[in-house]
Structure 1
Amino acid sequence: MNQHHRRVLMKTITVAALLLSPVALFAAAITEVTVYPDRAQVTRVGEFDLAAGENRLEIGPLPVDLDDNSVRAAATAAGPVTLHEVAVRRLAREQVRDPEVARLEQQLLDLRDQRAALDARQRVLDQQRDLLGQIKIKAAAEATRDIQLNKFDLAQLRDLPGWLADEFTKLETANAGLTAERRDLDHKIRVAEADYNKRRAAAARAEKTAIVTLHAAAATKSKLRLSYVLGNAGWTPLYEARARADARGVDFSYHATVRQQTGEDWRGVKLTLSTARPAIGARMPELSKWIVDFMQVMPMAAPVAAGKMMRMNAMSDEASVAMEQAAPPQEMQIEQGVTAVSFHVPRPADVPSDGEPHRQTIATETLPASFVYETTPKLSPFAYLKAATTNNTAAPLLGGPVHIFVGPDFVGTGSIATVAPTEPFDLFLGVDEGLRVKREELKDKAGKAGLFRNRQKKVFAYKITV
Structure 2
Amino acid sequence: MKIYLKSLLTLFFTKNSILHSTLGLGALLFGFHFPIFSQGQVKVDAENQHITVFLNRAQIDARVKTTVQAGTTKMVIGNVATTADPNSIQIGGKGDVVIMGVKFKQNYLGNKKRSVLEDSLKMAKTELEVVEVLVKVAENERNMLMANSNIKNEKDGVTPEDLKEMLDFFRTKLTEIGTRQMQLVRQSKDLQDKVNRFQQQLTSQGTNVNQPAGEIELTLQAKASSAVEVNLTYIANNAGWSPVYDIRAKDVKSNIDLAYRANVYQSTGIDWKNVKLTLSTANPAEGGTKPELYAQYVNIYESVVIQTKNARMMKGEAPQAMEMAAAPVAMADVSTTASFVNTVQSTLAVNFDISIPYNIPSGGNVEMVDIQNHSLRSTYKYYTVPKFDKDAFLTAIITDWEKYNLLPGTANVYFEGTFVGTTDIAGGEAKDSLLISLGRDKKIIAKRETIEEFKSRKNVGSNIRESFGYRLTLRNTKNEPISIVMEDQVPISQDSRIEVELEDAKGADFNRETGKLTWNLTLQPLENKEILLKYNVKYPKGKNIQGL
TM-score range for the pair, normalised by the shorter chain length: 0.5 to 0.7
Q: CA deviation at 1:52?
A: 5.3
From 13, 34, 48, the counterpart of 2:66: 48
Q: Which residue of 1 aligns with 2:440?
A: 431
Q: Which residue of 2 aligns with 1:70?
A: 88
Q: Which residue of 2 aligns with 1:58?
A: 76
One-letter code of the match for 1:407? Answer: E
2-structure distance, mates of 1:109, 1:284: 59
From 390, 398, 406, the counterpart of 2:399: 390
Are the aligned partners of 1:334 and 1:395 in contact in 2 as well (CA < 8 Å)? no
1-structure distance, mates of 2:438, 2:291: 39
Q: Which residue of 2 aligns with 1:448?
A: 458
Q: Which residue of 2 aligns with 1:275?
A: 281
Residues 137-189 of structure 1 show CA distances to partners (whole Å, capped at 9, x for unaligned) of xxxxxxxxxxxxxxxxxxxxxxxxxxxxxxxxxxxxxxxxxxxxx9x999997
**2:344 counterpart SS class:** strand
One-letter code of the match for 2:433? Answer: P
Q: Which residue of 1 aligns with 2:115?
A: 98
1:37 lines up with 2:46 in the alignment: no
From 89, 100, 103, the counterpart of 1:87: 103
Q: Residues 215-230 of structure 1: matches in 2 within 5 Å?
A: 215=221, 219-230=225-236
One-letter code of the match for 2:287? Answer: G
Higher RCO by CA contacts (8 Å cutoff, separation 6 or greater): 1
Q: Which residue of 2 aligns with 1:339?
A: 348
Query: TM-score by structure 2 length?
Result: 0.55
Q: Which residue of 2 aligns with 1:314?
A: none
Root-mean-square deviation (CA), in Å?
4.0
One-letter code of the match for 1:87? Answer: K
1:212 lines up with 2:179 in the alignment: no
Query: TM-score by structure 1 length?
Result: 0.64
2-structure distance, mates of 1:117, 1:368: 73
2-structure distance, mates of 1:260, 1:42: 12
Identity of aligned residues (%): 28
Q: Which residue of 2 aligns with 1:24?
A: 42
Q: Note closer, same or farther for the CA distance 1:334–1:63 as it changes in structure 2 (3 Å cut).
A: closer
Q: CA deviation at 1:383?
A: 0.4
Q: CA deviation at 1:55?
A: 4.4
* Structure possessing the higher radius of gyration over alpha carbons: 2
1-structure distance, mates of 2:92, 2:233: 9
Residues 258-277 of structure 1 show CA distances to partners (whole Å, capped at 9, x for unaligned) of 11122211110011111111
Q: Note closer, same or farther for the CA distance 1:203–1:406 as it changes in structure 2 (3 Å cut).
A: closer
Are the aligned partners of 2:394 and 2:441 in contact in 1 as well (CA < 8 Å)? yes
Q: Which residue of 2 aligns with 1:250?
A: 256
**2:248 counterpart SS class:** strand
One-letter code of the match for 1:90? Answer: Q
From 404, 407, 411, the counterpart of 2:416: 407
Q: CA deviation at 1:290?
A: 5.5
Are the aligned partners of 1:49 and 1:219 in contact in 2 as well (CA < 8 Å)? yes
- Per mean C-alpha deviation after superposition, the further-off stretch among 370-379 and 88-97 is 88-97
Q: CA deviation at 1:367?
A: 1.0
Q: Note closer, same or farther for the CA distance 1:112–1:239 as it changes in structure 2 (3 Å cut).
A: farther
2-structure distance, mates of 1:209, 1:216: 22
Q: Note closer, same or farther for the CA distance 1:445–1:420 as it changes in structure 2 (3 Å cut).
A: closer
Are the aligned partners of 1:108 and 1:192 in contact in 2 as well (CA < 8 Å)? no
Gaps of 5+ in 2: 1-37, 136-188, 302-340, 476-548
Residues 166-216 of structure 1 show CA distances to partners (whole Å, capped at 9, x for unaligned) of xxxxxxxxxxxxxxxx9x999997664232356697556433321223455
Q: CA deviation at 1:60?
A: 1.6
Q: CA deviation at 1:384?
A: 0.1
Q: Which residue of 2 aligns with 1:236?
A: 242
